[in-house]
Homo-oligomer: A and B are copies of this chain.
């Protein structure tokens, strides 16, 4: 237990939800956690599942998807190592509004609802931290809402790629590689369009030398070029 506590405490400290906790509190958090591992394409939980638990991703990458009645899916958020997910559901005690699907083999700490309640009771600063996390999510959602409401697909896709580069970009010779196995369909579900339109955009940008696209792979050759598209600025070649 105490060894695990040590291994986990690094991850816990990096996480915004548990930032600023003292040693004793970290141990409490660790002692109530359970572990869960999921292989690529597996799920931590499905939309509608109950009861629901708080998750902290230690390793891997998770996509949170929401489906409409007719089966159309949207990716609401990508979660990377050190980020929590299902915080809202765990706090509210409501069913998960999304399905958490692993893009690659993933490993998370999990706190069930009694544990979350216990933590909230015993750790004074936790509620403030939780609020900070939620506030950030609201900002993010409002911005994306405005984007999807007012911008064209190419602009939104460019922004999505830029965000992905920040979230999971790896510098390589020739540009920034988005180091996630994302299909055209995945990008479409993040952008609010179809895989066909995504494919066409990427093909056009490849012709212009802005990106290099491959199977479940995008390499950004010119961040500046993408910004130009995202902001709808006139580009050199038309």
Contact = CB atoms under 8 A, between A and B. Distances in A.
Interface of A: 66, 68-70, 72, 74, 76, 88, 91-92, 97-98, 120, 127-128, 130-132, 134-135, 137-139, 141-151, 189, 191-192, 231-232
Contacts of A145: 74, 76, 141, 144-145, 148
A119 to B, nearest CB: 13
Nearest to A92: B135
A143 B72 CA distance: 13
Contacts of A69: 231
B231 A150 contact: no
A146 B91 contact: no
Given A88-B139, A134-B138, A145-B141, A192 B66 contact: no
A233 B214 CA distance: 39
A135 B66 CA distance: 17
Contact of A76 (B120, B127, B137, B142): B142
Contact of A148 (B130, B148, B232): B148
A191 B232 CA distance: 22
A16 to B, nearest CB: 13
Contact of A135 (B88, B143, B191): B88
A72 to B, nearest CB: 5
Given A134-B131, A148-B192, A149-B192, A70 B142 contact: no
B70 A232 contact: yes
Contacts of A141: 138, 141-142, 145
